[in-house]
Structure 1
Amino acid sequence: MKVIHARNVNDAVVKGAQLMTEGGLYQDSRAGGTLEYPEPVCTVYERPCERVLFDAVRDANPFFHLMEALWMLAGRRDVAWLSRFNARMATYSDDGVVFNAAYGYRWRQQFELKTASGEAPRDQLGVIVEMLRADPDSRRAVLQIWDAEADLGVDSKDLACNTQAMFKVRGGRLNMTISNRSNDIVWGCYGANAVQFSMLLEYLAARIGVEPGTYRQVSDSYHAYHDTWPKISGIAGRFRGDPYVQGEVSVYPLVADPDHFDEELLRWIANPPDDLSFAQWETEQSRWRNPYFIRVATPVHNSWLAYKRKDREAAGQWLDRCAATDWQRAGREWLQRHS
């Protein structure tokens, strides 16, 4: 197994592209030819909350990445909400209504659990929080994603690529290891996965009452499709400085009030305040115990809606109000490329 040690996603994608250039081999797949590394690869993120990828050629869509991660944390699987930010996602649904392997739904609703207390909750995340609060030394906090009944041998457009996550608290920090059977390093590993799972890690750490620690992603099939590989194949030669390292952007904390986060998340997902005027947005600040929803999620969400209305001025004005300077900068740069 190869191990990539990286500060964050920007560091990881450069090192990952170099590794694939040096050792990737041709491999057929059902979706076309790939370059695949001949053994599993583990990417180790020391600062996983630095999750926003900055590269114009890769052109990651920050609006979609953030909205998808929040949708996952809310335990949703509906196509309609998510496809507003990426219409192509609907093509991965078997019926156009729900996704078969929506990670968040599997985290929070798919499995009926049996706990020592005799309860049968469905929320794996809640059980993991209680386990690690009660016994921080535990090695039993395993989050199941792969569902043999829904995935193994099943003919579906949407099968789980990430199969399991394991959590343990060490030195007052929550560490996470993800197991992945099939990892496209362009769209998945160093795109959506880096956002989805780092936000999961930050959320769980806050609820447990510890700091986020190291995020490790073990990719059994570490690959890039030939048609998208050029998006990152030359990234080492053009990447001229990480905005996080240079102090140009920073991370805004996801969770301020762990006890009310889930309730506010579900409220925000169900009714995102997309019809606010800027003046109304100002008055909304005091209504949220977790400011992330009004100071980060709402500006990013409303900027996207303005962009889709072709109101570029309003899209920029909403981003000006985003308190997370990493998402703000990524959004501005994406809008400039797509104007």
Structure 2
Amino acid sequence: MPLYRNISFALARSVQELLVSGADVVVKERQTKELIARSTRLERPLERYLFTPRRHNDIAAQFAETMWVLAGRNDIAWLQKYLPRAPHFSDDGITWRGAYGPRLRRWSGVDQIDAVRRLLLADRTSRQGVMSLFDPAQDYEPSKDIPCNNWLGWIIRDDRLHMCAALRSNDVWWGFSGVNAFEWSILHEMMAYWVNAEVGQADYLAMSFHLYSDHFDRGGQMVTGFQGFSPYDFGVGRATFATTWDEFPAKLDRWFALEAEISARPDAPLGSYGRVGDALLDSGLTLIHVAQAHALWGKDRLADELAQLPACDYAAALYEQYARTYPDLLETVRQPAIADFLTARSRSSADMVGDFKAAVKKLHAEKDRAYGGAWKKRGELVSIQPNIARKVDRLDTLAATGAGLSDETVLDTAVDLLVYVEKYRLFLAELSPPGTLVSADSPTPLSSYEQNFDTLVDRLELKPSSRALKDIIVDVNATFDACWHGAEDGETAEQKLRLATELSGYATELLAMLVHTNRQALTVFLQSGISA
């Protein structure tokens, strides 16, 4: 089962998997990439705000729809303020027939949220915590609105409340990342508070997990641009829920009353109309207030209003969203943790490549000082080439099985391969005429000095490759075989250096592809400073 830290990681990796491995399926004359019965696990579902490039989600719409569901509503008029296209998914333009709210809060007179809450309070080991969202009496009939989410399961283990959602159909772009992971994370947090448990993992099982062709290009750009971190890595906090079940109805009513006041006069300062008295619920009012007011305020007023907010995830999400409209807004961020995240995210590809080269040189220096000349102690066939062989064979296995090709494992292995190949080239250059590989006045023996290795790394041209990763690995494998046989057959140092340089070229191409197409793995490598 694919397991991800939070929704940002899950979206980037899932889109990548769909684009690479999804089956081509046409549904209702629309092209999709699809995975069947795909399970997705979020380890930290409360890290609910989405921070991935090119996704351009609307955080006010996410929160508004969530509150609409929790209130048991199905009316289009209110929801349309935040989701203008809502009527397109309604049979009558007045209600969503398949809205989750009425099914959760009053299905045949049963409030399923309260029923599961009471069940888990009475028996913390219960396996009966189920909320049904699919109604056989209605949902087999033709409609524009057949519920995609069909079942929610809840279970407490080790004082952690776990949630599982089963879906007949899940569009990764508009469904899973657009609202599902967000709305159910809010309910998850509330349920955990009401049953005195910690929030556990959240699992999603989708019979059809898909991406529409409308989003193939943007999805690919998102995968390439995602740098493998979110504000939660920089100490940004959360607005937490802390309202008892008995207090919840009144605070829910208060929330909608304040929303109405904000909608009537949105140009007022944030917080002008009072608060609900719950940090999470009040953060939602901030989101919808900014959504309705920013055009009236303008950039400078918006910057002043956002500057008053705490360094929380919803504030970071506001900066991220409205910087699309007001690019200069990011120059005004006054919350240090949020500013650190936004600065890190703005680093260019050139900066990342430069940092990557520096990290490779640092890695080599640390290992060289720790192990000295052990890597070449017993010569080519006993020490040097076996080191390279282990990395080549590991890459070959990854290519054959597909395991690890989308995570940091392949990048770590590719880095180690390049390090050993470059050291081997320096070793062979010692046996060749001076100046063959590095300048003639370089310190000798060439393979014993860090500055010579650093020279080779500085020369690397890490330009994006258009070839498939598996094809590059095939060339790495074939060229290494030639290097091995050359050493066995006693070829000259110049001949072996030529083959090693060819191998270096393929190893560099492999690294370039990984550096430019998997920002998450690159970020992990840069942050760790070590290679697996």
Specify if TM > 0.5: yes
Say which one has the larger Rg: 2
Residue 216 (structure 1) aligned with residue 197 (structure 2): no
**Secondary structure at the residue paired with 2:169?**
strand
Tell me the residue number matched to 1:133. 121
Cα offsets for 1:139-159 (capped at 9, x unmatched): 01110001112211x221111
**Cα pair distance change 1:149/1:311, threshold 3 Å:** farther
Q: Distance in 2 between matches of 1:130 and 1:158?
A: 30
What is aligned with 1:73? 70
CA–CA separation in structure 2 for the residues paired with 1:106 and 1:321:
39
Q: Which has the higher contact order (CA 8 A, sep 6+)?
A: 1
Match of 1:284 in 2: 274
Aligned mates of 1:200, 1:283 — CA distance in 2: 26
Amino acid at match of 2:199: P
Distance 2:66 2:306 in 1: 18
Q: Deviations over 1:271-294 (max 9, x none)?
A: 424147438x36835xx4423333
Q: 1:100 to 1:270 in 2, by over 3 A?
A: farther
Task: Tell me if structure 2 keeps the 8 A contact 1:10–1:54.
Answer: yes
Residue 326 of structure 1, CA deviation: 1.4
Residues 1:11 and 2:1 are matched in the alignment: no
Paired residue type of 2:9: D
State the match for 2:281 in structure 1. 293
Contact 1:4-1:15 at 8 Å conserved across structures: no
Q: Deviations over 1:13-35 (max 9, x none)?
A: 12212221231111111261111
Is the CA contact (8 Å cut-off) linking 1:13 and 1:190 kept in structure 2?
A: yes
- Seen in structure 2, the aligned counterparts of structure 1 residues 230 and 145 have a Cα distance that, compared at 3 Å, is same
Partner residue of 2:224? Answer: 237
Is the counterpart of residue 157 in structure 1 residue 155 in structure 2? no
Asked if 2 retains the 8 angstrom alpha-carbon contact of 1:79 and 1:89, the reply is yes
Structure 1 residues 71, 315: closer, same or farther in 2, change over 3 A?
farther
Q: Distance in 2 between matches of 1:5 and 1:57?
A: 22
Give the structure with the larger helix fraction.
2
- Deviation string 1:259-306 (CA, Å, 9 cap, x unpaired) is 312320122124424147438x36835xx4423333x12211111111
Structure 1, residues 206-263: CA drift from partner, whole Å, max 9, x if none? Answer: 1111111110000110111101232323333211242244225322112344431232
Gaps spanning 5+ residues in structure 2: where?
A: 327-532
What secondary structure is seen at the aligned counterpart in 2 of 1:41? strand
User: Within 1, Cα distance between the matches of 2:303 and 2:103?
Assistant: 35
Higher strand share: 1
Distance 1:324 1:194 in 2: 22
Paired letter, 1:106: R
Q: Does 1:267 align with 2:254?
A: yes
2:157 maps to 1:170? yes
Q: Is the 8 A contact 2:70 2:101 kept in 1?
A: yes
In the alignment, residue 48 of structure 1 is paired with which amino acid? Answer: P
Which of 312, 330, 335 matches 1:325?
A: 312
User: Could you state the TM-score of these two structures normalised by the residue count of structure 1?
Assistant: 0.88
Matching residue of 2:37: 40
Q: Report the equivalent of 2:26.
A: 28
Mapped to 2, the partners of 1:105 and 1:315 lie a distance apart of 36
Deviations 1:167-187 (A, max 9, x none): 011111110110001010111
CA contact (8 A) 2:53 2:226 kept: no
**Runs of 5+ in structure 1 lacking a partner?**
113-120
Distance 1:338 1:151, change over 3 A: farther
Residue number in structure 1 paired with 2:172: 185
Match of 2:95 among 60, 84, 98: 98
- Is contact 2:54-2:221 (8 Å) kept? no
Rounded Cα–Cα distance in structure 2 between residues aligned with 1:142 and 1:65: 24
Alignment of 1:85 onto 2:82: yes
Identical pairs, percent: 28
Report the Cα distance in structure 2 between the residues aligned to 1:49 and 1:64, rounded to whole angstroms: 18
